[in-house]
Structure formats: C-alpha cells, structure tokens
Chains A and B, each alone.
Chain A
Amino acid sequence: MENASTGAEGGAVQARSTMRVTLEVNGREHALDVQARTTLLDALRDRLHLNGTKKGCALGQCGACTVLMDGERVNACLVLAVMAQGRHITTIEGLRGGDGLLHPLQRAFLDHDGFQCGYCTPGQIMSGVGCIEEGHAGSRAEIRQYMSGNICRCGAYVNIVEAIFETAVGTRP
C-alpha cells in the first residue's frame, strides 16, 4: 500500500505577488509590501519588528496576539494585514502614555505579579485594557468570563484578575 500526500492539509496555495499597504500602528504610519495572506500578526512581528505582540498559536485560540483595532480587541493572527488598512492599531508598545509612563494596567501587572514567563502578558494587558473599556470589568467573576480568550499556561490568572479589577476600579469615573 502506498500513501500519497502533499505537505500540508488544506491543499496547495499558490504564492501571489505582494501589495502595498499602509498600517497605522501606535499613531505612526508604516508603508509595507505584504501578501494577501499576510496576517496583521506577522506584519507586526516580522516586518515592523514590533515583538511585543506574541504568536502563541496563530489560530485564534490563545489570545497572545491581542491588539486593539479602533479601540476593540482582536486576535492579530485572525486579521489580515490588508484588512487593517485605515484602522488604528494599538499594540503593547503603544500603551505607554505620552509622558512615557506605564499604563495603569501595566503597573498593576507589576504590582500583582500578573505573569511568570511573560509571553502571554502583552496579550493579557491589551485584552484587559479592552475588557475595562467595554465595561466588562465590574466584578472578578465578570473579568474571568471576558478574559477567557487569553490563555496563561503559567497560571497567573488570579493575579491578572486582581490587576484588571484594581485598574478598573481606579479608572472608573
């Protein structure tokens, strides 16, 4: 019996020529050539060298690549770079205020030891900022539900929830 296969499931995909896009990331515009299939995540990491946005699965399952697009949290691995044109992208590198100080949630992560290895941390923080903005940080239970798209394998969840809850309370009008 013989067993014939191609190298990946989903069949062959022909490479196509690149196209020029302009991405606005953290208030700065970047012109770059991408393929239609280039994700926002790969554009950020491999082209713009903005390493803070992490690649954990590239399948929209772990949340490590969470960024804000027009203020809403998205998995950058599920957004094509071409779809991000004309949108305001905010990554962890753009979270500091104009004064250069850490965002209150970044400070809260330090205060509550909201991480160990640090790999999911930028995604947790960006997601936490979105969670607070959405008004979904009213209680620890609510935060747990609305942060469940961000996996932390080191298991810092209770510390992350405390950091978000404290920040949400502190920033409530």
Chain B
Amino acid sequence: MGAIGKPVARVDGPAKVTGTATYAAEFHPENMAYAALVHGTIPRGWIKSIATDAAESVPGVIAVVTHLNAPRLPWKPVDAAPVDPGEGEQLRPLHSDEILFAGQPIALVIAESQETARAAAALVSFTCVPSDGAGLVFDRARARPPSDGTRESYPAEWERGDAEGAFASAPRRIEGSYLQPRLFHNAMEPHATIAAWDDEGKLTLWDKSQWVDNVRDQITRNFGLAEDEVRVISPFVGGAFGSALRCWPHVTMAAMAARIARRPVRLELTRRELYTAVGYRPYTLQDVKLAADEDGRLRSVIQTAYGLTSAYEDYGEEVLDPVGMLYDTMSARTVYRLVELDTNTPTPMRGPGAVTGVFALEMAIDEMADAMDMDPLEFRLKNYAERDLKKDLPFSSKALRSCYETAALRFGWEKRDPRRRAMHDGNMLVGYGMATAVWPAMQAPASVRIRLFANGTAVVRTAASDMGPGTYTSMTQVAADRLDLPVERVTFELGDSSLPMAPVHGGSMTMASVGNAVAAGCKKLRDDIARLDGAEDGEHPVETLMRLRRDSFEVDGAAEPGAEAGTHSSYAFGAVFAEVRVDPDFGTVRVPRLVGAYDGGVIVNPRTARSQAIGGMVQGIGMALMEAGEWDDRLGRVMNANLAEYLVPVHADVEELEAVFVESEDRIFNPLGVKGIAEIALCGVAPAIANAVWHATGLRIRELPLTPDRLLMAEQAARTS
C-alpha cells in the first residue's frame, strides 16, 4: 500500500483531542492513596532531627516516611544503563541522613487525598547541619577531567594534527568564550508514578517513562525482585525531551509508599519539584579558537568545554563530538572538563551535548567568516567535509549541501546585506543568520511481536514509547507498508514492559531501531506464512490464512545494527536560517521567521516529521532568547523553578516556521533508510538566531539567552569603547 512516506494523520489523535489518552497520573486503581514530598533546604549536610507527629495527626494522613522508618531496600548493584552517568551512584531516596543537594526529598507523606498529603507535608519540621561539599560556584579553576567511566564515551582530550601549532601559525584567527546556562526540559506533563503491589508481591508501576524496560530493571534491583515481578506501563507520555530517560528516585519512593500503605499510591511531582527531582541540560562554558588561511580554508579548530556535573554522579555528554567532523579542517583539538557542584545531576535534554557544542562552534564559525569578510554560508561550503575526518570513515549518507542550498533558497538568503546593522524595517534592526545542525544517527537492538489475523487486521507490539513524535503512527505505517494492509487495519501497541524488548526512546533512534524491527518482523511473518503447507506463491498472507482456515499467525521479529557502524559514519544534518527584528531602544529580539532544511534520511511521515521539526525550532527560540535556570550560588537553588519565571516560548513568540526535508535515504545505515529527526530539529537554531542578532546589531553576545538586558549592556559597552 506504500504507507511509508504518506502524511498519515496521527492514529492516537482522536484520543488526544478528546481527552481520553491516559497519562501516568491518570490511572485510578481502586483505593488509591496520594503522596507528597518534603524537601531539604540546604545544599549539603545532614538531617539532624525530623518531627513528623504534627503531620501524622492530620485526619486523612496514612503515614509519614523518613530515612528513620523507611523500609531498608536491598539496592542490588545495577549495571549502568546507557541513560545513566558513567560513574557515581544515583540518590537513594529516604535512605540515610545525608543531604547531597538543596531540594532533595527527605520525607514523604501518604494521605487519602492529594490536598491532605500536601498540607500535611508542610507540617513536617526538621533541622539540618550544613557541611562542606563540592561547592556552589561554577569556577573553571576547579575543573577536572571526566572520570574513567565517563571518559570512555567523552574523552578528556582528543586531537588530530597539531591544532595549537596550526593555530599559532595561521594568518587569520579568532577566539571566544561561550556560555549556555542550565536549561530545563519542562515538558507539559509533570513526572508521576502510580505504584500498586498485588497479593503475590508483584509490583505494577504506571509511570512517565521513555524506557519502561529500564524502569523495570532498576526497580527490580532496588527492591530485590525478579524480572517478572515488576511491570511498567506507560501508554502516553506528555512530552519529556530526555527528562524521562532515567528511573528517577521518585519512582522508587512511589513503590516504597505503596508497600507501606498497603494500597496503590500516586506520587505526582509538582512543577517546582521538576527542577530538582529529574535532571536538566548542564550549564556549560566553552572556549573556541579557530584559525584559517587567507583563502578561507580552516586550519585549526580548538574547542574546550567545561560542563557542570553533580558531586555524586559524573555526567558527561557529547558536547565536543561535532568538533573535528563537521568541517574539513586540517587539525582539530578538543578538551573536556567537568565542574562539580552540590546540585542534582544533569541529564540528557534534546540533542544532549551536540546542541551545546554546536551553539559555540557555529557562532565561532560565523565570527570567522566575518573576520574573513566572507558570506557565512560560503565560508561553510568552502570547508565542507566530504568525509568524517574524525573517525576517518566515509559518511553512510550526507546531504548537508542540499540542506544549505534548499534552506537558503526558501529563506531568501541572497537578499542579505552583508554589512552588519544595515537592514531595517522602520525603527527595527533586521538581521539574517544561519547555522549548521548535526546529530549522530544511532540504532539499538529492538524486538517486536506481530500477529496477523485472517480478517485482514494486524497487531504489532513492543515496549517502545511515544513521548509525542508519533511512534504509534509511524510504526503503524511501517507495518501497514510491509504487510500490504491499509493503515487503519493495523494496531500498534507500546509502553508496557511485558511487551517485547525495545531500546530507550531517545537520541533520535526509535525509528531506526524499532522501525527496522517492525519491518524485519513483517518480513518474517510473510516468509513464515508463505512456507506453510498449502500456501500459494504470490498470494497475500491474509489470503493464505483464510484458505488454510487459520485465525491468525504470530511471529517475533528483531533488528540490530549491522556491520556498517565500523565501516561508515552516520549522522543527520541540517541547516537553519533565522530572521530577527531587534528593537534598538529596548533590546528586545523577535523571530519572525525560521527556515530549516534537514537530512534525516527517509521520512516515514512528513506530517508528523514537520511537527517535530517546527517544535524543535520553537524550543530553539526559547534557548536563544529566554530560557535559563537562574542559579543562586549562595543557597544552591534554581530561583525561577516555575513556568512564570523560567520562560519558554508561548504563542506570541512564534510566527513563521518552515521545515523542509531534503531528498535523502541511508540504506547503508539501516534497511529502512531512516536517520532520525528529533534532536537535529533543535540543534543549530540558537546559534542561527544569535548570528542573526549579530548581523542586525553588530553586537556579538556569547552568553545565552539573548535577553534585553544583555543586548542593552552590550550596546552600551560598544558605544563607550
């Protein structure tokens, strides 16, 4: 039927527009109780005393749990999942009197209603003794290399050629420092877990998760259970962007509470709690040095990143991965350092690392082009990499040139006046800027179970997730395509750890991983049916089942990465162009227009893919202009832990967004030819906007977000210098 590539309307759309899609906090097991948390207020130290009697005396309170009376869990060692930091140990909630960060949960109240639980939580009083710890001030003098477990994935140092020597001897050089603040996922659905133990001691968790299998594995170990004693259910995820990759402490606390209350318990985090109970994109400071020949050929790229981590876990990410592969540069060097603070651990947020590294690199590239008096696009094309020089491998596919050309054309880049502060619209300064986007394409092993019925319907099941991009829909399309059935006759089920194994729903790899498993399963189903006694050549498998009087036929299918990972380098690419209007009096920046062109391989559903791409642009507007967790380095707290003070884009901030997917397929990378489009859509947006602001104003502001105060101060500094 050729369902792949069709703009199919979301199969879960009707449930979402009628309010019947059920998210984690919305299940209602009988006799459910409600939990609320009490948080420590100091960044490091010990709980000296804790008084729970006032809370316990409130009518409707079932129990108050602290480290003094919490059940001792076995905490069996867990092999670090790929979503966990390479070194360190996650907070064990209510496990001891030690406090590792401000906002750490130190007590849990279980009550008959949510209101009672929260009110009683306010009655728990405690005293704490502060102690010396890692500290609260992000100081690069305290930076250290990543520890051994982290270094395996994110090297402390890497170099090709003599980058410093090339820099020193090159005729054209620039250098600068770039700051990206702490950023929060702030998905609309707060994290929530409902836990219910049955009479046999088996645990069911309704949880907000991007990886139900991982939650099952971790909870199994924390509680010393067998794998078949824990089931994790998560049919709908209200956005996550990485915040639901890990199994966070509140999941353990929900299960603990349900065991104590001997009834199901819901633990739904508040918006404020989301700033400490789950992770965030780490504050990262970067130094970039670029050098070029007189003719505009890059000779050296040197990028150093200082990333924030917690004192109890060593969080690293791929900030520097793009350096050395994004451009055809003769030499390159990266240095990666971590700075520990007494705070909760960072976690991947959409495009983890790459978004941060590309922000600094693409602003620096723009500055270099300016120093060379070259058009920013021309400069990038001059240094276009035809091969991954970092891995020394050919790309399995690369259509970045086509992205540049397509986006530039749609945007009208040729209308750009090359001079800064030269374009106006009335009083407004107008600027055009652009940036490159890149994200490594990945695939992980996945499995599915497919049952084809003689009535011409099929059901495909796997423990995958859909946090919004449209897994339900795109997988239905793949199955319909490969089974030659109409889309509406195929049902796709996910979000249940009792289903066949699926990898984490993150890193843009669901389509490559689960999609290829669905395709492989469908092929196996057709092959197996064709081999049945009495099957006839060329007939549809449904016809075979009908003729053989079989009600249905089921197979398990799987897919995993092939040998191409060793012979090719696989990346998704993109080019983002931004127009800005800057008010010279108030320093306000508006983004009337963004155009992005992406090389994401085969696009299974252009309709949902476009939504994903423009959604990334919106988050990029937030990153460029408004988002920042404001850290108080005396109290060790994020001061704006809510959606009125941590600003994210609203309707009024977003005008024209255009996303184009260029002709691309990557059959070397995987049989479906897909590369993934989630992370790439955010990558490059912030530097494109920052470069446009420079073009509009002549002000090079290297700290995000580009708020009016920063613009006005930069303007003042430029005037006085």
Contacts and interface: CB of A to CB of B under 8 A. Distances in A.
A and B found bound together: yes
Contacts of A13: 119, 122
Interface stretch (B297-305, B381-389, B642-650): B642-650
B271 A52 contact: no
A8 B239 CA distance: 28
Given A117-B188, A117-B467, A117-B468, A8 B19 contact: no
B141 interface: no
B59 interface: yes
Contacts of A57: 190, 271, 642-643
A8 B121 contact: yes
Given A56-B190, A113-B607, A151-B643, A12 B130 contact: no
A125 interface: yes
B77 to A, nearest CB: 32
Interface in A25-55: 35, 37-38, 42, 45-46, 49-55
Contact of B238 (A96, A111, A119): A119
Contact of A120 (B60, B188, B469, B619): B188
A157 B654 contact: yes
A173 interface: no
B13 interface: yes
A61 B654 contact: no
B115 A35 contact: yes
B187 A116 contact: no
A155 B616 CA distance: 7
A144 B654 contact: yes
Interface stretch (B23-31, B151-159, B569-577): B23-31
A137 B58 CA distance: 48
B114 A42 contact: yes
Nearest to B34: A46
Contact of B125 (A4, A92, A116, A143): A4
Contact of B115 (A38, A148, A151, A160): A38
Interface string A125-162: 10000000000000000011101111111111111110
A14 B130 CA distance: 30
B141 to A, nearest CB: 26
Contact of A54 (B188, B237, B650): B188
Contacts of B608: 113, 116
B630 interface: no
A104 to B, nearest CB: 11
B22 A152 contact: no
A116 B120 CA distance: 37
Contacts of A64: 188
Contacts of A113: 9-10, 13, 607-608, 610-611
A119 to B, nearest CB: 3
A154 B115 CA distance: 29
Nearest to A110: B13
Interface in B97-140: 107, 113-116, 118-130
A113 B470 CA distance: 11
A93 B21 CA distance: 12
* Size bin of chain A's contact surface: 35 or more
B120 to A, nearest CB: 7
A125 B17 contact: yes
B42 interface: yes
A99 interface: no
Interface in A97-111: 102, 106, 109-111
A46 B113 contact: yes
A83 B624 CA distance: 41
B189 interface: yes
Contacts of B270: 58
B669 interface: no
A49 B239 CA distance: 22
A153 B187 contact: yes
B17 A121 contact: yes
B419 interface: no
Contact of A118 (B122, B236, B241): B236
* Size bin of chain B's contact surface: 35 or more
Contacts of B648: 151, 153
A38 B113 CA distance: 10
Contacts of B617: 155
B128 A52 contact: no
A160 B651 CA distance: 9
B12 A3 contact: no
B188 A62 contact: yes
Interface in B25-83: 25-26, 28, 34, 38-39, 41-42, 45, 48, 54-55, 58-60
A1 B611 CA distance: 53
Nearest to A120: B188
Contacts of A157: 618, 649-651, 654
B239 A52 contact: no
A7 interface: yes
Interface in B199-250: 236-239, 241
Contacts of B118: 8
B243 to A, nearest CB: 11
A61 B20 contact: no
A5 B654 contact: no
B615 A156 contact: yes
A118 B616 CA distance: 16
Contact of B611 (A3, A42, A95, A156): A156
A169 interface: no
B716 interface: no
B188 to A, nearest CB: 4
Contacts of B238: 54, 117-120
Q: 8 smallest A-B Cβ distances: which pairs?
A: A52-B19, A155-B618, A119-B238, A118-B16, A117-B468, A116-B468, A155-B615, A7-B38
Given A113-B611, A115-B16, A118-B15, 12 more contacts: A13-B122, A45-B26, A55-B190, A56-B188, A57-B642, A62-B188, A95-B18, A144-B652, A150-B650, A157-B618, A158-B655, A161-B651
13 contacts: A3-B41, A8-B121, A51-B23, A58-B270, A95-B18, A102-B18, A113-B607, A117-B189, A118-B15, A118-B238, A122-B19, A147-B651, A155-B618
